[in-house]
Amino acid sequence: MSDETIGSANPGSTEQKVHGSAGSLALGLGLVLGGAAVLYLVLGLRLVPNEAALVLFMFIGGTAIVVGAVQLVIGVYQLADNVDRMAKAVLNRESD
């Protein structure tokens, strides 16, 4: 096994700089879909008879959608950064 395959042993290796974009994407998508489901159940199906509870559920659903959208944008940025790093590494490897 060569030194190139042991990336975690090197302190400056690319493995330690790569962002975990899958977690951010999954969290963002889950929050957006969950918030949309809450708003659909509350506003579309009128499942909450109390006016105060309706406002609370609308706030929770809207907040989940906004936070999920931000998290989704962060995940897409991290994914694009990872793809860019991989492309640069392939191009550098081919030029050597």
Q: Residue 17: its pLDDT value, please? A: 62
Does residue 1 form part of some domain?
Answer: no
Q: Are 3 and 46 in contact (CB under 8 A)?
A: no
Whether 38 is covered by a domain: the verdict is yes
Boundaries of domain holding 79: 21-95
Identify the CA nearest to 65 among candidates 87, 91, 34.
34
Residue 47 lies in a domain: yes
Q: Which residue has the tokens 């998508």?
A: 29
pTM: 0.73
- For residue 12, count CB atoms less than 10 angstroms from its CB and return exposed for 0-12, middle for 13-18, buried for 19 or more: exposed
Asked whether residue 60 is domain-assigned, the answer is: yes
Q: How far apart are CA 75 and CA 70, in angstroms?
A: 9
In a domain, 16, yes or no: no
The H or E element containing residue 92 is: helix 51-95
pLDDT (tens, 9 = 90+) of the chain, 96 residues, equals 444 444 445 555 555 566 688 899 999 999 999 999 999 999 988 888 889 999 999 999 999 999 999 999 999 999 999 889 888 888 888 776
What integer pLDDT is reported at residue 86 of this predicted model? Answer: 87
